[in-house]
Amino acid sequence: MFRLLAALLSVFSFQSMAAPERIAIVGAMDVEIEGVLPKITNLDKQTIGNHLFYVGELNNKPVVVTKSGVGKVNAAMTTTLLATEFNVGSIIFTGIAGASAPELEPMDVVISTALVQHDVDLTVFGSPMGLIDGYDSREFIPSEQLVERALSSAKKVLGEERVTTGVIASGDQFIANKEKVAYLYQEFNAKAVEMEGAALAQVADKFAIPYVVIRTMSDKADGSAVLSYEEMKKATADNSVAIILDMVK
């Protein structure tokens, strides 16, 4: 009886003392996280290899903020490190994207309800485009709760009419072609195209960590994409950050 009581007490005190899980905030480029960094308190910079993580608090909540670098491999590596080294309870990706739904314009926001890797091609074996070997679906589904929270913060910060939810397609390509973007919209029903989200999703899914991707459109992924991207990069990146600052309260 005494032993049982002692065991229960030790479990209870361990649980009450365990460090709270951190919220991870990830962007691919400096411009996508630089709006968050000055807001972190009790900042401790930690490196693994040459990868820098900003550990601290945002509005008194434990966070880890990091730049993944551009592309799916960078996103996957970063998410693996967050999952294994930083006691992360949720992951929010912040950044910019090309609009692939024709009705969307630069400065509009897409919050992910599904993520797909549009450049995965095993079609010669009869698989649909985007389906990764060993998976039943080509879509990774983010946390409904995080999507709802992101949506309500986005609407509050930016107004209803500029915010939508939908599929985000990721691949190791900057899309700047009218035909290609039309194909991505048709094939995947993708509202936005970018280069990291679905890779982060695949890894977060593996570790059962809830996640959401928030993207502000910097361009329309067509012939005007490069110019629009350069011009809109900073304003659109800050737009996504503003949503996160409201979410993490």
Beta partners for residue 99, in sequence order: 192
* Interacting residue with ligand ADE among 104, 209, 229, 247 (CB under 6 A): 229
244 forms part of the interface with ligand ADE (CB under 6 A): no
Q: Of the candidates 193, 200, 201, 247, which one interacts with ligand ADE according to CB under 6 A?
A: 193
What 3-state class would DSSP assign to 157? helix
CA dist., res. 76 & res. 86, Å (int): 15
Phi-psi group of 121: left, alpha or beta (phi > 0 → left; psi -120 to 50 → alpha; rest → beta):
beta
The verdict on whether 246 is a catalytic residue reads: no
Cβ neighbors of 163 (< 8 A, separation 6 or more) are 108, 109, 111, 151, 154, 155
> Does 96 sit near ligand ADE (CB under 6 A)?
yes
Interface residue with ligand ADE, options 63, 169, 199, 225 (CB under 6 A):
225
Q: Which of 32, 139, 222, 246 is catalytic?
A: 32
Residues 97-116 that bind ligand ADE (CB under 6 A): 97-98
Nearest residue (CB) to ligand ADE, 58 versus 176? 176
The amino acid occupying position 242 is A
- Strands 88-99 and 190-194, by their bridges, are antiparallel
Stretch that binds ligand ADE, among 40-48, 86-94, 190-198, 206-214 (CB under 6 A): 190-198
Kindly state whether residue 154 participates in binding ligand ADE, applying the rule CB under 6 A: no
